[in-house]
């Protein structure tokens, strides 16, 4: 009889034991990878394959996430031990070797995660999300009460457990958090947005090597429109044979416009625009939910209505599936079918469909999912938005990019065989499914009881 041996271990090290004696079960693939790159010293990276190198990156990501969680708990405890004493930040800065202000910011992040966002902290401890995006999530909820923040935490955990969100794209997690904050505290979110917009400003930040940064804090739709105009003019110059890089062209075009000089190219028509999505009941002030700015994310309804009513705004009817919230059609206007199709794709996808990319869809290419030369149709069911780099990447050896227009789910598989997934969130949240309740008749009138509360699952 052949005895099967498996790896088992503890803090003391690794042993190989008969499979029938091991309890609990042996290491998972992730745990074994963590041990391989952390418990052993002197890993010779020159001998590793590309698959093993990417595995090492995954280990580093999980280690950072767990270290950030450890730091958060330690800083929270130090803060509680010292009370309001500012010396906690001083001591933390010395040990962490950072400035006192950065230490104070990390203490604030740690206390918020421990007391207000425990499920996000659990995800950090599991190696799923690092401290920086977790801190962004905590920052988005900073103005909420503790009870409201914990409700956001619970709802976010529910979306992750249901597969409606994933950890692969932290920016989408932050956007989803904004949506939840708007739903839970719409009036407060609007007041904070109004206050932030009143603080718009321009800053000159001196840099190194005779360079400086000119930074502008602007309303999101104004900044998006300005960038789209600069980008379109830069691309037009590039298409005319200008040898400067796109980054250089954007910088030079912006400088020319600010100085009142002619950049040497007219503004391409229809480029300085942004897409704003709004349910009709919100437009009619019957609701205050569901507003989203392409390339940015959710915005408060009063601000969306103000943008909508500006001179020059163009309204389009968008038809969505009432069950899923997915975009199905646009109201017709006198446009060529190709132009209409491109706009339908831009409204439906809202941004590049490649996982991890958030370039607005109206600045992306129309990508045939099944190529034209393979008899693929030019139709919404065979198309998706892809930015130029991802459109190019699709045809490179070892890379596979897929997109399902029906579900809004996209995947990207790398040459090392790892697959990452992205699901486009619907413009309109589909109605919550409730379990039918028994109706109690009283004097000929039907009356239903509220369904029981459901606790969202953990991460």
Q: Name the domain boundary from 161, 184, 207.
A: 184
* In a shared domain, residues 24 and 88: no
Q: Does 207 reside within a domain?
A: no
Higher pLDDT, 440 or 218: 218
Over the chain, what is the mean pLDDT? 83
* In a shared domain, residues 23 and 96: no
Q: Residue 335 — pLDDT band, cuts 50, 70, 90?
A: very low
**What's residue 449's pLDDT?**
32
> Is the pLDDT assigned to residue 456 strictly greater than 80?
no
Q: Does 400 reside within a domain?
A: yes
* In a shared domain, residues 56 and 112: yes
pLDDT tens-place string over residues 50-81: 998 999 999 999 999 999 999 999 999 999 99
Radius of gyration of the chain (CA): 26
Q: What is the mean pLDDT of residues 307-328?
A: 73
**What's residue 157's pLDDT?**
95
* In a shared domain, residues 57 and 179: yes
Q: Does 301 reside within a domain?
A: no
Q: Name the domain boundary from 149, 165, 184.
A: 184
Q: Does 429 reside within a domain?
A: no
**What's residue 97's pLDDT?**
94
Q: Does 286 reside within a domain?
A: no
Q: Does 312 reside within a domain?
A: no
Whether the bond into 148 is cis, omega within 30 of 0: no
- Find the DSSP H helices in 46-98: 50-82, 87-96
Phi-psi bin for 189: left (phi > 0), alpha (psi -120 to 50), beta? alpha
* In a shared domain, residues 11 and 79: no
Q: What is the mean pLDDT of residues 394-418?
A: 91
**Angstrom distance (rounded) from CA 84 to CA 242:** 59
* In a shared domain, residues 27 and 108: no
> Is the pLDDT assigned to residue 442 strictly greater than 90?
no
Least Cα distance to 178 among 196, 155, 197 occurs for 155
Q: State the burial class of residue 204 (Cβ atoms within 10 Å of its Cβ: 0-12, 13-18, 19+).
A: exposed
Share of the chain above pLDDT 70, in %: 80
* In a shared domain, residues 56 and 180: yes
> Is the pLDDT assigned to residue 445 strictly greater than 70?
no
Q: Name the domain boundary from 184, 216, 240.
A: 184
- Find the DSSP H helices in 240-350: 246-259, 280-283, 301-308, 337-349
pLDDT tens-place string over residues 156-188: 999 999 888 889 889 889 999 998 998 899 888
**What's residue 151's pLDDT?**
97
> Is the pLDDT assigned to residue 259 strictly greater than 80?
yes
Q: Does 444 reside within a domain?
A: no
> Is the pLDDT assigned to residue 332 strictly greater than 50?
no
**Angstrom distance (rounded) from CA 452 to CA 168:** 33
* In a shared domain, residues 87 and 172: yes
Eight-state DSSP code of residue 351: B
Least Cα distance to 365 among 376, 378, 356 occurs for 378
Q: Does 92 reside within a domain?
A: yes
Q: Model pTM?
A: 0.72
* In a shared domain, residues 63 and 33: no
pLDDT tens-place string over residues 234-254: 999 999 999 999 999 999 999
* In a shared domain, residues 32 and 106: no
Q: What is the mean pLDDT of residues 328-332?
A: 60
Secondary structure (3-state) at 295: coil
439 strand-pairing partners: none
* In a shared domain, residues 122 and 163: yes
By residue range, what is the domain housing residue 11? Answer: 5-43
Q: Which phi and psi angles does 6 have, rounded to 5°?
A: -130, 160
* In a shared domain, residues 9 and 122: no
pLDDT tens-place string over residues 117-150: 999 999 999 999 999 999 999 999 999 999 999 9
Counted domains in the chain = 3
What b/e sequence results for 271-289 when a residue is b if at least 16 CB atoms lie within 10 Å of its CB, and e otherwise?
bbbbbbbbbeebbeeeebb
| Alpha-carbon dihedral 46, 50, 52, 53, rounded to 10 degrees | 70
> Is the pLDDT assigned to residue 218 strictly greater than 90?
yes
**What's residue 59's pLDDT?**
92
Q: What is the mean pLDDT of residues 10-21?
A: 66
């Amino acid at each position: 009889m052949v005895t099967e041996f498996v790896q088992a271990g503890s803090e003391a090290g690794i042993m190989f034991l008969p499979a029938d004696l091991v309890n609990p079960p042996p290491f998972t693939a992730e745990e074994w990878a963590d041990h391989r790159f952390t418990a052993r010293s002197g890993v010779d990276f020159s001998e590793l394959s590309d698959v093993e190198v990417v595995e090492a990156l995954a280990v580093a990501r999980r280690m950072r996430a767990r270290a950030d969680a450890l730091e958060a708990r330690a800083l929270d405890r130090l803060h509680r031990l010292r009370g309001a004493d500012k010396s906690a930040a001083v001591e933390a800065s010395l040990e962490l070797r950072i400035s006192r202000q950065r230490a104070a910011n990390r203490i604030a992040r740690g206390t918020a995660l421990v007391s207000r966002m425990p499920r996000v902290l659990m995800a950090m401890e599991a190696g799923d999300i690092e401290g920086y995006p977790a801190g962004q999530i905590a920052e988005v909820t900073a103005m909420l009460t503790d009870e409201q923040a914990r409700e956001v935490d619970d709802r976010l955990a529910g979306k992750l457990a249901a597969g409606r969100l994933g950890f692969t794209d932290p920016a989408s997690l932050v956007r989803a958090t904004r949506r939840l904050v708007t739903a839970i505290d719409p009036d407060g979110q609007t007041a904070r947005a109004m206050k932030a917009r009143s603080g718009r400003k321009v800053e000159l930040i001196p840099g190194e090597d005779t360079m400086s940064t000119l930074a502008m804090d602007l309303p999101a739709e104004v900044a998006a429109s300005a960038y789209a105009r600069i980008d379109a003019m830069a691309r037009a110059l590039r298409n005319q044979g200008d040898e400067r890089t796109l980054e250089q062209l954007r910088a030079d075009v912006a400088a020319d416009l600010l100085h009142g000089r002619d950049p040497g190219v007219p503004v391409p028509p229809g480029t300085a625009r942004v897409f704003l999505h709004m349910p009709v009941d919100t437009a009619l002030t019957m609701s205050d939910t569901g507003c989203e700015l392409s390339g940015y994310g959710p915005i408060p309804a009063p601000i969306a209505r103000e943008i909508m009513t500006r001179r020059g705004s163009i309204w389009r009817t968008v038809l969505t599936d009432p069950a899923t919230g997915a975009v199905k059609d646009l109201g017709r206007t006198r446009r060529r079918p190709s132009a209409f199709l491109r706009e339908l794709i831009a409204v439906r996808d809202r941004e590049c469909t490649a996982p991890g990319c958030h370039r607005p869809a109206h600045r992306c290419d129309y990508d045939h999912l099944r190529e034209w030369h393979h008899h693929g149709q030019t139709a919404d069911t065979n198309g998706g938005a892809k930015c130029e780099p991802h459109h190019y990447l699709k045809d490179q050896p070892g890379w596979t990019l897929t997109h399902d227009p029906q579900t809004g789910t996209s995947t990207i598989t790398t040459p090392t065989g790892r697959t990452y997934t992205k699901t486009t969130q619907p413009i309109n949240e589909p109605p919550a499914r409730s379990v039918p309740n028994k109706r109690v008749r009283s004097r000929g009138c039907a009356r239903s009881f509220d369904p029981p509360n459901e606790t969202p699952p953990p991460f």
